[in-house]
Chain A
């Protein structure tokens, strides 16, 4: 092996990497928050909603969970314009991540809701709460607490999956790596550095999710 590793390009290209990191973080934050919100709504619909709403929500969840994220992204970015929906790369990437995480987190949160003891619903009803109020104040938070570790892993998986959005030219961290390797011809080094950055982002994100969990469920006894 006569190859000499060189990381001297870092000095010149670090702003590109930095911008890529920021966009990956932006995608993860927006996708994470709105995705979990969508997932919670769908989980409510599937577990407690009216009968007519269940089949379409189930179809959405099954369809997304059984197709690759890359194809969902291509469908949204290349396919939807023929229906007159034209999105920028970043909007399409954001939308794809929200839709994707929505389906996965729906299943996770639903498991948490269905593990709620019936007495909790009855207690809510006996306090004259409406079903929505019972869900919001009695059921949801303990349900989220139960499945928080699984939800955290899913958010990390979605963050790592976001590497694919570079394929529609959304300028995330992978896009930056592609850009650098096409300029400096240092393919291995460029991908190596960005892989390490992804690893650090994943570890930090896991810590943040654990911290948020600690804050959300601070004063509740674990069941």
Chain B
């Protein structure tokens, strides 16, 4: 039997962690773009679009991410497409992230007082101008801490993609465990690597929030 040193285990886990990072970035950026589009639909004029985004958010926040992954994986297959695990994983995570980011950002836009809308309207600005010059710059400041905080959920969400067969940190943990028979050490290390990825994000979200709160009190 081959003996595995701690370094062998750690090296393989770190190699797999690259894919956790790539998938997190893809999901977060893709989710941000889709989320921004949904946000404009959610707060825009058309009541049909508003209803659509409301149900979209309800659907993705009210069902398990694991089920969304399964449906993306098996559902796309029904159309005769041979779905690779990375594609289903990326798609499901982008749609899931978009739902949460839309809801977070909607709260931020709604936190801007009505007077700001009225003041900019009285200057003869149109909807796009109001958003571009008055509302979004202010909403963005409020939105940064919770958005950074949510990125932690995205990193942790990528762990579920191991279940549909995407090889990232969690899947590597299972594979290495099956080779070394040392679940305690392997899963402990996996947890520590996730912690190393997530904790700086959590911490910076807290720090940003404190800074922005100070700005808030000076109003």
Contacts and interface: CB of A to CB of B under 8 A. Distances in A.
Interface string B63-75: 1111110110011
B77 to A, nearest CB: 8
Interface residues of B, number: 39
A201 B23 CA distance: 30
Contacts of A79: 183-184, 187-188
B67 to A, nearest CB: 4
Interface of B: 59, 62-68, 70-71, 74-75, 77-80, 152, 156-157, 159-160, 162-163, 170, 173-174, 177, 182-184, 187-188, 190-191, 194-195, 198-199, 202
- Of the candidates A1, A81, A83, A195, the one having the most CB atoms from chain B within 10 angstroms of its own CB is A195
Contacts of A69: 156, 159
- Of the candidates B63, B170, B182, the one having the most CB atoms from chain A within 10 angstroms of its own CB is B63
Contact of B71 (A66, A72, A188, A202): A188
* SS class, residues of chain A in contact with chain B: helix
A30 interface: no
Interface of A: 1-3, 62-63, 65-72, 74-75, 78-83, 156, 160-164, 167, 174, 177, 181, 187-188, 191-192, 194-195, 198-199, 202-203
A96 B58 CA distance: 26
Nearest to A82: B184
B64 A71 contact: no
- Of the candidates A2, A72, A79, A80, the one having the most CB atoms from chain B within 10 angstroms of its own CB is A79
A177 B63 CA distance: 14
Contact of A188 (B63, B78, B188): B78
Contacts, number: 122
B159 A198 contact: no
Contact of A202 (B63, B156, B162): B63
Contact of A62 (B74, B190, B199): B199
B191 to A, nearest CB: 5
B69 to A, nearest CB: 9
A96 B78 CA distance: 35
B62 A82 contact: no
